[in-house]
Structure formats: C-alpha cells, structure tokens
Structure 1
Amino acid sequence: MATTLDQIDLATRAFWAQTPDEIDAAFTVLRRENPVPWSGPAESDLLPPELNTQGFWSLTKYDDIRFASRHPDVFSSAEGITMETFDPLMTQAAQSFIAMDDPRHAELRGITMEAFKPANMKRMGDWVRGHARDLIDEMAPLGEGDFVELVSKQLPGRIFGSFFGLPAGEVHDRTIDAAQRLLSWSDPAATKGKTGLEHFVEAVMELHEIAALLTDQRRAEPGDDLMTWVIQAEFEGQRMDDDEIAAFFVLLAVAANDTTRHASAHAINVFAQHPVQKALLIEDIDGRVEGAVEEVLRWASPLLHMRRTATQDVTIGDAEIKAGDKVVLWYCSGNRDEDAFPDPFSFDILRPKNRHVAFGGGGPHYCLGAALARTMLRSLLSEVYTRIPDITGEPEWLALNFINGIERMPCTWTPPR
C-alpha cells in the first residue's frame, strides 16, 4: 500500500521504527506533496512533558537544505542541532562548537583547524589505513561473524584511540562504549528502562571525566596525538579552556565512533545488495573506490538530520517560518531528491558530480571530519573487496531519528587462501 501524506509524522518514534524503504517512501511523498511540513513536538523524554512543547519545520529538498546551511545568520545552530531539545547545559557539554554561532564558533573551529593541519592529517590518514589493514587481517580467516562487532565498532574505536592517544585497556574501552551509547537516546533497546535524558547524561559525563584525565596527562607529558594538538593549538591568540576541550572530545568521540561505525556497515550491506556495482568496484578498486565512497555516503546518509533555529521570519516554499521556530534539515531526504540527482534510487558508483549532503549542505558548519571519514571508508572498502569480496549479510536496523544505524549484521565470506 502506498504511503499517503496523512500517515507521515516525523515526530513519532513509530515513524523511525519503520524499515529504511518505508522511511524513504515517506520522504518521497513529502518532497512531492509537502516539502516543508510542520510537525508537533518530537516524541521524547529528554525534557519533561510540560517543557517539550515546541514543534518543528522540516526541509526535505536538497536546495532548501543547502540554502539553510549557507545562511547561518538566518538559521542558527546555537539553540541545538537535533530535532529533540536538550537542556542547554547538555547541549553545551556534548555538542561543542557545532551548537554555536559566530564569533565563538569561528574561534573554536579555528583552534581545531590548527590541530588538523596538513602534517597531522597525514599522520592520521596513515593510522586509518594501518588499522583497516590489521582489522581485515584478523577477521578474514574466520569466514563468518557479525560485521558490526568484528569491524564496524572496532575500526572507528581503534582509529579514535590512536587519534587521542588512549591507553589500551579500561580507559580505551570506557571511552568507546560511552561514545557508542551516546546517540541512542531514542532507542528503547539501548536505554534499557532509563529515560533518554538519563542515558544521554551518563554517557556525556563519563566522556567528560575521561577528557579531564587525558587533558591533565597531556599537559604534563605532551604526546603525538590529537588531544595534545588540541590542547596546544591557538587561533588568534586563544586556546580552548578545559570545558571546551571536554566538549570537543565528546563531539569527536561520537563522530568518530558512531557515524563512521554505521557508514562502514551500510557500505558492506549496499554492495551485497548491488552485485553489479560490486563487480564494477572490484574490477578497478583504485580507480573507482573514491566514487564508491561518495555514493555510499549519498545512499546511506549516516547522519539523518541536523537542526537549526530561525533567527528571523523567513519563507521557504509555502511555509511561513517564524523567528524562534525549529527547522530540521533532513540529509537523508536531500540525498534522494529527484531534482538534484538523476535516478536517485539507483546505487551508482560511477555517478558524476555526486554533490551529496551527507556531511552537510556547506557553510561554516560543514563536517570537520569529512576527509577522515572518507579516508576510513576508502581504506575499508579497498581492504574488504581485495581480500574477502564475496562477503554478504543481513542487517538489523536501529530505530533512531538522528543516526542511520545498523545494530547487527551477521555475515559470511570465503576466507582468503
């Protein structure tokens, strides 16, 4: 039965518990019939019911998402970046400068860009490639297993551990566990009887404790790692204070361990479903892997949305958005927009001019880690489809409204001889 407009409610958990195909079908209807819909308050326990009263507008079209992304004076990030509203203290503690506007956003981003200078980026790229190779060395002989457990969780965790110089053992394991728990506040299976807020706060506080420990250690004994680089980085004579360092640690822990975790699982799943495209990749991995990475990112949209808040009245399409209204940018819909991508429901690694919005629609909040995420996916695809090209599996999806998540994916493959 075809999805109809009156059946679509982006604010409910039931909507996000649907299959990916059902969600895609709903956004197709919205793009065609009501591209800037209004929703009531998100079904959420991050705030008490009496405070959770604000609905939101949704941008489902590619051009509208890019417009909002490139006009931060009209669409502010400072009130939060998820459709669900957090307490302001939690927003500051967990979302770092992505939940800020200029001038402080520009200052903090400038400091982090100094830490991400070319020499450091090259070193991180070498770490990524080495970890991808080592991990496939370990899992390839097994012949079967849950790809999420064997690779998707392990690779980002190892990379992040190298980035921040996490000591092996308890500190490393606590960090990765907290990072991978943090964004699952809307999944009842993950919260295990706690409220979404309790679940979120516990993970944030654990990451802040670890960040404080690492900050003290690196000030006393600087290392060759991102934590040291961030502590030492300056922009126009300014450095981050300890709270800002901790918030940045949380932000990067989540970005490195959750979005990239799910992107890697999506990549294996989509190639298993599209054997012709997999054959094209295997035929010329070096020449086609970059196009494959871009198409995986467009197809899977690991980050489903970001939110902004209107600073002034603005009209988009037929929607009269008022100052103070929440506006949600649905990247997953923009990447399927028929007006932006020819044949958007075809997976095509040779797609020309693949200007997807998986990392945002441009502007000052474009993802800082985009280059590293691409490096991770490029390294992983190269290793997998050189070594165990017949890998296939069946995903089990997470019911989340922020991350496009795969919980488990039991796979089989032929071990290399």
Structure 2
Amino acid sequence: MTAPTTAPTHGDIDLSARSFWAKHPDERDQAFAVLRRENPVPWSRPAESDLLPPELNTHGFWSLTKQEDIRMASRHPEIFSSAQGITMEDFAPEAREVAQSFIAMDAPRHAQLRGITMDAFKPKNMRRLESWIRGHARDLVTEMSHLGEGDFVELVSVKLPARIFGSFFGLPEGEIRDQATNAAQRLLGWTDPRVRGDQSELELFMGAVMDLHAVAAQLIPQRRAEPGEDLLTWMVQAEFDGKKMTDDELKAFFVLLAVASNDTTRHASAQAIYAFSRFPDQKALLVEDIEGRIDPAVEEVLRWSSPLLHMRRTATQDVTVRGSEIKAGDKVVLWYISGNRDEDVFTDPFTFDIARNPNPHIAFGGGGPHFCLGGALARTMLRSLLTEVYTRIPDICAPQPEFQIANFINGINRLPATWTPEKR
C-alpha cells in the first residue's frame, strides 16, 4: 500500500481538506482543471474525517480526474474493486454493510443482487413509477406557483423526491413516511456542520441508517404477507438465478434506494433551477421550445451539476495510470465532477449549453457493472419537473444558492427564488 503523506494533493490544492469542500463550486472546478492539466492522477493524504478514529484513518487515496481514466476504472472491476467502500472517506466494515448494499460489492454477489434489482425494475413497473413522478411534479408546482417567492429547496426539491419515495415504497402518510424521508435527506450530510449540528459525522450517518432500517423492518414482513404495487413488494418478490434477497440485504437496499431517490434527485432539481437562473440565455432557449429542448437540457443539467461528485474504488493489483504507480490495496477516487468538465471530451466545458451535442457525461458513472440503475428515473423526474416549472412560472429566478459543504453529493441547502405568481 502506498505510504501516507501530510502534503497537499497538488500545489495548494488539498482534496482531503474540509476547507476545500467549503469553497464555491467554481473554485473547485478550477482546481480540478489544474489537476487535469498538471497532475491528472494525484495522491492525497487521508481525508479529514471523524467517521473512523484517528489511529484508523490512515489511508490516503489516488484521484482519477480525466474522463478516459474514470471510464477505464469503471469498466475493470477486477482491477478496481467496490467491496472496500465507495466513498473517499473510510467507514467501518459494519457501516458499509448496513448502508451501501450491492454498490459496495463485487461479483459474484454484486451480479446476483443487481439481477434481483433488475427484475424489480422491469418495464411495466417503471411505467407506473413514471406516472407517479409526472403527477407529483404537477401537484407540487400547483401548490407553490401562486406564492411568488420562497425557498425552492423547501417548497419543491425536498418534497418531490420525498413524495416519489413514498409512492415507490408504498409508505403510508404520517410518522413512518416522515421518519424515512427525514433520515434519507440527512444521511449524506455528514460533512456539512449545518446539517450535522452537534452530532459527530458518524452519529449523524449511523442514526439515519438505523432509522431507515427500523422502517424497513416494519415494512418487509407486511409486504410478504400483503403484497402491494410498490418497489419494496417487487424487491421482496424478485429473484435472480433462484435467489431472493435476505432481510438484511433488503434493509441495506432500502437505505440505498432511500438516498438515491431523495438526496441526489433533490439536489439535481435545485441545481437545475440555479443553472437556468445563472444562465438566462439558456432558460430563454428552453422556454422557447420546451418540448423540443427538454431532453438535451436535462442531459446538460446532469453534466453541469454532477449530483454525485465521486465514487471510490480499491485497487486489487498494482497498476500504472498516466505514470502514477497505484499499488494493490490503494484507494482510487473517480471524480465525476472533473470528468464532466474534461477539456478533451467537451468543447467549452465551463459553458452551460442545453444544445450541447454530443454530451457524453458521466453523471451516472463511467459504465461497467456499477452503472447507475436509477438514471432513467432521475431523467424522468427532471424532465417532468422542469417542464412544469418553465411552462407555468417561466420567470423563476434563484441566483443565490446556499451550497452544501460536501465531497460526495453536489448539494444545495437553500435556494431563495422569486417568480410571477400563477393566477388561480
């Protein structure tokens, strides 16, 4: 394993520092541009983190900042393993097991559990989910469009994925739904002191995980006894090669889906409204022909915002990438946010351009067996919401977000917005 160091990543760039992730996203983008140009596979000291005791937090990490390298690592799981964790910060093994489900596994178990999931995500089930998404987006815009001002995150970005999540899993209105959605929305905020409050990073993370496990423990036997038309029922019933998920696997999967359907989609919707507020010429293009331009607009929002900043792998063998000698056991972080600004892939990568074509972004990963299963649903959510917003309150403006301090999710905590109220 590569020896640890206390030096910054490169020059004055320190990807391990909490202070780096408190910078404005534009500053971070420029830092990654420097890395792509001068040191595309740099080594960093251990991340500043409270998730492990200091004596155990000793593993630094390599970074892949070029899209070509990220795609290569994603498509070679035999060299770049997911089984030791998928974040640049290390968790204890038991925390990985209860929270990260099959995205922190390798073949053959990863293939089996992903196969079970694919069975649940069959086309007829996805058509039902898409209908729910469109309905929830329409209802939410109706509820806020007459106000004329408010925090878009509070009014829409938090509520839309929460309602979709409730529909996904057939969560009844009330305490159970509130417990699950609240836990899902705070789970990935361990790096942000405004989200964490007086809790430690580990306390916030594990508290949210345990809340989600408690909800799943109530629902799983209910769905076995009385199947419904919801994702948890489909997961309880689904099988692959004659195997079904165990209760513990279902609980971990519930955590994974809770986060995927809440946190990432929540922040993607806020990032979209912010992007169109920051670049009014692009909003004008969209409003001019929403039906004809919504699909490429969604793709550019995903590239521009990169809701998931990174995924991490662990090298199973010695490998050299662009001259950097990665040793077996080393952590390797795949920076999607950097790959989506790669000058070798995108013309004018720092320009928000909804007519960009082609747009080979890696917002959902670089391919391979861990490519995100929820990409189609995330696109549906953004397409439905942005169509409603820019058809009904097209002058909405929200140029001053409060960004979340995070190295995993590209989040927005608050997004004050104004618009011409829709008449009722």
TM-score bracket for the superposition, by shorter chain length: over 0.9
Q: CA RMSD in A?
A: 0.8
Please report how far the alpha carbon of residue 5 of structure 1 lies from its aligned counterpart in structure 2 after TM superposition. 4.2
Residue equivalent to 2:245: 240
Residue equivalent to 1:87: 92
Q: Secondary structure at the match of 1:142?
A: coil
Measured in 2, the distance between the counterparts of 1:282 and 1:181 equals 33
Q: Which moved more, 1:322-331 or 1:195-204?
A: 195-204
- Aligned: 1:97 with 2:140: no
Please report how far the alpha carbon of residue 198 of structure 1 lies from its aligned counterpart in structure 2 after TM superposition. 1.1
Unpaired runs of 5+ residues, structure 1, are none
Contact 2:10–2:42 (Cα < 8 Å) also in 1: no
Listed one character per residue, the Cα deviations across residues 288-347 of structure 1 (whole Å, up to 9, x for unaligned) are 100000000000000000000000000000210000000000000000000010110111
| Structural mapping, 1:191-230, within 5 Å | 191-230=196-235
Measured in 1, the distance between the counterparts of 2:194 and 2:281 equals 36
Please report how far the alpha carbon of residue 353 of structure 1 lies from its aligned counterpart in structure 2 after TM superposition. 1.5
Counterpart residue identity of residue 13, structure 1: R
Measured in 1, the distance between the counterparts of 2:31 and 2:192 equals 21
Listed one character per residue, the Cα deviations across residues 333-364 of structure 1 (whole Å, up to 9, x for unaligned) are 00000001011011111111111000000000
Given candidates 393, 400, 407, the residue that maps to 2:406 is: 400
| Structural mapping, 1:238-387, within 5 Å | 238-387=243-392
Unpaired runs of 5+ residues, structure 2, are 1-8
Q: Secondary structure at the match of 1:42?
A: coil
Displaced runs of 4+ in structure 1, greater than 4 A? none
Measured in 1, the distance between the counterparts of 2:178 and 2:392 equals 28
Counterpart residue identity of residue 173, structure 1: D
Q: Secondary structure at the match of 1:392?
A: coil
Q: Secondary structure at the match of 2:233?
A: helix
Measured in 1, the distance between the counterparts of 2:409 and 2:381 equals 18
- Aligned: 1:61 with 2:62: no
Measured in 1, the distance between the counterparts of 2:14 and 2:254 equals 34
Aligned length: 414
Please report how far the alpha carbon of residue 215 of structure 1 lies from its aligned counterpart in structure 2 after TM superposition. 0.3
Residue equivalent to 2:419: 413
Measured in 1, the distance between the counterparts of 2:272 and 2:35 equals 26
Please report how far the alpha carbon of residue 190 of structure 1 lies from its aligned counterpart in structure 2 after TM superposition. 1.6
Measured in 1, the distance between the counterparts of 2:193 and 2:387 equals 36
Please report how far the alpha carbon of residue 193 of structure 1 lies from its aligned counterpart in structure 2 after TM superposition. 2.0
Q: Which moved more, 1:187-196 or 1:173-182?
A: 187-196
State the identity as a percent: 71
Listed one character per residue, the Cα deviations across residues 345-404 of structure 1 (whole Å, up to 9, x for unaligned) are 111111111110000000000001000000000001100000000001120111101000
Measured in 2, the distance between the counterparts of 1:372 and 1:231 equals 20
- TM-score between both structures, scaled by the size of structure 2: 0.97
Listed one character per residue, the Cα deviations across residues 147-189 of structure 1 (whole Å, up to 9, x for unaligned) are 0000000000000100000000111111010001100111122
Counterpart residue identity of residue 18, structure 1: K
Counterpart residue identity of residue 195, structure 2: A
- TM-score between both structures, scaled by the size of structure 1: 0.98
Measured in 2, the distance between the counterparts of 1:226 and 1:321 equals 40
